[in-house]
Structure 1
Amino acid sequence: MNLIELLAEPLSYTFMVRALLVTIIAAVLCAVLSCWLVLIGWSLMGDAVSHAVLPGVVLAYIAGAPFALGALVFGFLAVALIGGVRDTTKLKEDAAIGIVFTTLFSIGLVLISVTPSHVDLNHIIFGNLLGVSASDLWQVLVLGAITFAILILKRKDFTLYAFDQTHAHALGMSPRLIGAVLLGLLAMTSVVALQAVGVILVVAMLIIPGATAYLLTDRFGKMLLLAPVLAASAGILGVYLSYYLDASTGAMVVLAQAAIFGIAYLFSPKQGLIATAIASKGRRKALVARG
């Protein structure tokens, strides 16, 4: 089998084409948002929101509503609860996040365990890329397009918020409002990625691309271009590998992203482990020569 046949065979199946489309959309959207999450330090927030949507999905199934609707409602609810606990107690944000997301996630697990279903609701947790329906694909397209448009249109405000909230306030912006909008977009992005890799692995797609791009460039504009390109490439590679290895598709997508991060971690020209080790060795030699 030649290379063209290897690439073409999976595309002869409709479910594989849908899986690829959903993966690319989710990967690009998560990657763009992850650039801001990494800079702001909201990795835990991404974890919280992605897990907190679980009860919303189960309740949507019980009510016969679209999964995305339930996930979106509980994503916004999680953001509101975290902010409420943080603002009305002496607890720090990480404690509020831990309390809210573990509670909501546990409610979701309980609902799954007691809900009679002809649908395997465990796919919500672990992802079901190969089972994406036409309606699921349309939900991903619509939510992804809306979220991506807002991220691009407001990118300057989000970037200023990430780097200097005081300066943003001095320019007449509301850091609180900008943060709330970003959290809302995080909830919507989690719903999109949920279709691809499930609740547990969403956080990886929300963090790894931005972290990888951060190691490869010092310019935020380049991060916004580099992260989605790497994420989409890893998504395509992961889907193809899962097809030929008969492995979990969502997990293979995340592993492909992690492999690219590992390469950047080792070989990044400026921040890679090998480059910094060589630079450190060079500095020591220079000091010895001077002495």
Structure 2
Amino acid sequence: MIDTLLMPLQFAFMQKAFLIGAIVAVPTGLLSCFLVLKGWALMGDAISHAILPGVVLAYILGFPLILGAFGAGMATALATGYLAENSRVKQDTIMGVVFSGMFGLGIVLYTSIHTNVHLDHILFGNMLGVGTEDLWTAGMIALVVSGALLLKWKDLLLHAFDPAQARASGLAVGLLHYGLLTLLSLTIVATLTATGLILAVALLIAPGAIAFLITRSFGRMLAISVLVCAVSMLLGTYASFWLDSAPAATVVLVLTAIFLVAFIWRNIATRRASRMGVPG
């Protein structure tokens, strides 16, 4: 029985899939909390999709795909931030326009390439084809992003809740704003191999949303979000081995199931507390 349960660990590609999942879980889990509190769910979605033209251009020009992805992500983040600050149009509308334009450009470039090499893994992920270089890249990005978030989490928290108060307190609001966008772009680059562009948004939103339902303490929210993300990555990857399914999609299904359980639990707890006259 134990030998059967541990069978996935006997394969090198599964070991690397588990490892990339554990690495990616830390920065995505931490960043997810800030995106949820700041209301930037669409920003993560927009940047993850808008990276596509950068990846394709990098492939055409012979540059590392990661450089193209990061360049496109930063261009999207900066353009969105600039247009939102200098236009009467609301930020979600700006994100919709920029995201759809960049994604459309990426699709046009993608379909114009005539080669035997497919870039499908950029869209849908390729956890079972992770190489040593991918692990090092994801590890370095995870270390930088996680370190920056943990170092400046109090400033970022104040900026997320009340930018005006953050500015009045002497914080560099602009630096925090674009710094968070930079970390978001880096994190999406780190998740390219694990989940691809289309499913990366689930890792950036679901863990924070689940933690938000479970606790009201931001410190515990960060810990719970990382734990939920790590468990989901490992369970989803493990289940995909036996279900013969795509690991990234299976991870997202696990995250969705956990969110539904947390949602139901929170509703039950709130109703019970309201009947007892205690705040939920």
| TM-score interval for Structure 1 and Structure 2 normalised by the shorter chain | over 0.9
Q: TM-score, normalised by structure 2?
A: 0.94
Is 1:123 matched with 2:117? Answer: no
CA RMSD of aligned residues (A): 1.5
Is 1:275 matched with 2:269? Answer: yes
Secondary structure of the residue aligned to 1:247 is coil
| Superposed displacement of residue 239, structure 1 | 0.2
Of 141, 147, 150, the residue aligned with 2:145 is 147
Q: Which amino acid in the other structure matches residue 217 of structure 2? A: R
Distance across 1 between alignment mates of 2:147 and 2:81: 25
Is 1:55 matched with 2:53? Answer: yes
| Superposed displacement of residue 180, structure 1 | 0.8
| Superposed displacement of residue 23, structure 1 | 1.2
The alpha-carbon distance between structure 1 residues 101 and 273, as it changes in their structure 2 partners (threshold 3 A), is same
The alpha-carbon distance between structure 1 residues 282 and 172, as it changes in their structure 2 partners (threshold 3 A), is closer
In the alignment, which residue of structure 2 is the partner of 1:34? 32
Of 82, 87, 109, the residue aligned with 1:89 is 87
Is 1:75 matched with 2:110? Answer: no
Q: TM-score, normalised by structure 1?
A: 0.91
Matches within 5 A, 1:1-291: 2=1, 4-267=2-265, 272-280=266-274
**Are the equivalent residues in 2 in contact too, given 1:68–1:139 (CA < 8 A)?**
no
Q: Could you list the per-position Cα deviations for residues 152-194 of structure 1 after superposition, in whole angstroms to 9, with x for gaps in the alignment?
A: 1111211121222222212211212211100110110111112
| Superposed displacement of residue 278, structure 1 | 3.7
Distance across 2 between alignment mates of 1:118 and 1:142: 31
Q: Could you list the per-position Cα deviations for residues 166-225 of structure 1 after superposition, in whole angstroms to 9, with x for gaps in the alignment?
A: 222122112122111001101101111122111111111100000000000010000011
Distance across 1 between alignment mates of 2:100 and 2:65: 20
Distance across 1 between alignment mates of 2:180 and 2:136: 23
**Are the equivalent residues in 2 in contact too, given 1:161–1:178 (CA < 8 A)?**
yes
**Are the equivalent residues in 2 in contact too, given 1:27–1:193 (CA < 8 A)?**
no
| Superposed displacement of residue 281, structure 1 | 5.6
**Are the equivalent residues in 2 in contact too, given 1:57–1:71 (CA < 8 A)?**
yes
**Are the equivalent residues in 1 in contact too, given 2:121–2:193 (CA < 8 A)?**
no
In the alignment, which residue of structure 2 is the partner of 1:289? none
| Superposed displacement of residue 276, structure 1 | 2.8
Secondary structure of the residue aligned to 1:149 is helix
Secondary structure of the residue aligned to 2:251 is helix
Distance across 1 between alignment mates of 2:54 and 2:150: 28
Distance across 1 between alignment mates of 2:56 and 2:81: 24
| Superposed displacement of residue 15, structure 1 | 1.2
Distance across 2 between alignment mates of 1:55 and 1:214: 33
Distance across 2 between alignment mates of 1:159 and 1:89: 26
**Are the equivalent residues in 1 in contact too, given 2:232–2:255 (CA < 8 A)?**
yes
Q: Which amino acid in the other structure matches residue 206 of structure 2? A: I
Which segment is superposed worse, 164-173 or 184-193?
164-173
Distance across 1 between alignment mates of 2:216 and 2:158: 16
Segments of structure 2 that go 5 or more residues without pairing to the other structure are: none
| Superposed displacement of residue 248, structure 1 | 0.8
Distance across 1 between alignment mates of 2:152 and 2:261: 31
Q: Which amino acid in the other structure matches residue 105 of structure 2? A: I
Secondary structure of the residue aligned to 2:6 is helix
Distance across 2 between alignment mates of 1:282 and 1:101: 47
